[in-house]
Amino acid sequence: MRQAKTAYSGFLSGGGIPRRHDPHLLPLARIKKIMKKSSVDVKMISREAPLVFSKACELFIEELTKRSWNMTIQGKRRTVHKEDVAHAVATTDVFDFLIDLVHPNTSHHVDLNEDLEKKQ
Amino acid sequence: MDSQPELASKMAMPAVQPSIPVPIQQADGTFSHFALHFNVNMQPSDAQAPPPQPASGNNECLVREQDRLMPIANVIRIMRKILPPHAKISDDSKETIQECVSEFISFVTSEANDRCQREQRKTITAEDILWAMNKLGFDDYIEPLTVYLHRYREIDGGERGPMKAAAEPQAKSFGIDDVYRTGHRLFGPATIAGFVKDSPNAGPSRPVAGFEPYAKCKE
């Protein structure tokens, strides 16, 4: 039980999953703020929802980073640039919601790819 | 005051420049105050502390970056976990990904919120979030998130005593005891298998009675 008690006190002070299992990489309060701002009519948020997001955002960042890095390698470079992120977004269906965010002036997938090829 | 510039260069000056006086010990052991200037246009770099608000009256119009974005240091840390050691990351790609994370949260939350409204529920639950992610195409995330949540409940559900009954039980969907008692849809492997039954990752559905929800998570 001592182990469990340590875990519990870790939870109280750390505000999340105890360190021995999985430290939070993203702040829950911030996540909650962003959730509240997503729509005007967001009312209540369960305590577990930001928790799920903290892990989900980690997975999201990992995936987006991996895909961006693939673009960087294709360009025979070692530095990930914004264009690599934009290219990763353009070539991944599930990231379609990000298209305007990463490349606000481009409305067409094809145009974006041509732009990038010209730059490289 | 000749020693101040020397001291400034010797000190690890943070990228964030707050407009507060910082005591600096002089060469002769005495302390003097050195007020750093607040740069309104600074970039959110690897600094840990958020900058204080500017004194001007444009606060109301602006959403502070530290409110709408994940701390960039955390974002960078996750990126570096994934990238090979020799990889470099430009500042603009860090900021872009930082923005993308917030957009991701908003995107999924809106979908989850719509579902709550349709079902006339006031609280967005973890289950709603997972449902929304699945619907929006992030089904690869469902399994690791489910495992993560189960571990959380393993620790939390056992430790916390039963919570007081709230006027609206959904508002406190916290411990596993509470979930069972309010009759809220059980968020366990059976439910997960249920709503991802069309996905290739779905495990076999099992009856609730006599199954060990955390068997997979025991290390």
Question: Which of A48, A64, A78 is the closest to B100 by Cβ?
Answer: A64
Q: Is the pLDDT of residue B133 over 60?
A: yes
- CB-based contact B129 A56, cutoff 8 Å: yes
The C-alpha angle with vertex A34 and arms to A32 and A39, in degrees rounded to 5, equals 105
Residue B166 has pLDDT above 80, yes or no: no
CA distances (Å), origin B109, targets A37, A50, A88, B97: 9, 10, 23, 18
Amino acid identity of B34? F
Q: Given this model, what pLDDT does residue A104 score?
A: 73
Q: Across chain B, what does the average pLDDT equal?
A: 69
| Helix residue ranges per DSSP H, chain A | 2-14, 28-38, 48-74, 82-90, 99-102, 109-119
Provide the shortest C-alpha distance from residue B8 to chain A (in Å).
Answer: 31
Contact A39 B145 (CB under 8 A): no
Instruction: Measure CB to CB from residue A98 to each of B100, B128, B140 and give the nearest one.
Output: B100
Query: What are the phi and psi torsion angles at B162 (to 5°)?
Result: -60, 140
Q: H/E element holding B190? A: helix B189-195
Instruction: Give burial (CB, 10 Å; 0-12/13-18/19+) of A75.
Output: middle
CB-based contact, A46 to chain B, within 8 Å: yes
CB contact under 8 A, B103 and A101: yes
B82-118 pLDDT tens trace: 999 999 999 999 999 999 999 999 999 999 999 999 9
Nearest CB to A17: which of B88, B128, B151?
Answer: B151
Interface test with A, best of B66, B75, B108 (most A CBs within 10 A): B108
CB atoms within 10 A of CB B159: 15
Q: State which of B35-39, B61-65, B87-91, B164-168 shows the largest mean pLDDT.
A: B87-91
Instruction: Centre a 10 Å sphere on the Cβ of residue B168 and count the other Cβ atoms it contains.
Output: 12
- Which residue on chain B is closest to A72 by alpha carbon? B87
Residue ranges of E strands in chain B = 21-25, 31-35, 88-89, 123-124
Where is pLDDT greater, at B180 or A30? Answer: A30
pLDDT bracket for residue A45 (50, 70, 90)? very high
Please, what's the b/e burial string for B114-130 (b: 16 or more CB within 10 A of its CB; e: otherwise)?
Answer: ebbeeeebebbbbbbbb
Query: What is the distance, to the nearest Å, from the Cα of residue B23 to the centroid of all Cα atoms in its chain?
Result: 34
CB pairs under 8 A between A and B: 201
Spell out the residues 6+ positions from residue A34 whose beta carbon is closer than 8 angstroms to its own: B68, B102, B105, B106, B109
Closest by CA position to A60, among listed B104, B200, B117: B104
State how far the Cα of B16 lies from the Cα of B196, in Å rounded to an integer: 45
Q: What is the distance, to the nearest Å, from the Cα of residue B68 to the centroid of all Cα atoms in its chain?
A: 11
- Shortest alpha-carbon distance between residue A50 and chain B (Å): 8
Shortest CA distance to A120 belongs to which of A89, A67, A85, A84? A84
The two beta strands, B21-25 and B31-35, are antiparallel
What radius of gyration do chain B's Cα atoms show? 24
Residue B167, both tokens? 């006027």
pLDDT band at B185 (very low <50, low <70, confident <90, very high): very low
Q: Is the pLDDT of residue A13 over 50?
A: no
Mean pLDDT in residue range A80-90: 97
The answer to whether residue A40 scores a pLDDT higher than 80 is yes
Locus of tokens 């998130």? B145
Separation in Å, CA A44 to CA A116, B169, B185: 43, 12, 17
Question: Which residue from A minimizes the CA distance to B100?
Answer: A98
* Segment B25-44 mean pLDDT: 51
List beta partners, residue B31. Answer: B25
Cβ–Cβ gap B125/A46 under 8 Å: yes
Percent of chain B residues past pLDDT 70, beyond the cut? 43
Residues of chain B by 3-state class (helix, strand, coil), percent to 5: 50, 5, 45
Return d(Cα B97, Cα A65) in angstroms, integer: 8
B107 vs A57: CB contact, 8 Å cut-off?
A: no
CA A91, A94, A97, A98 torsion-angle sign? negative
CB contact under 8 A, B104 and A60: yes
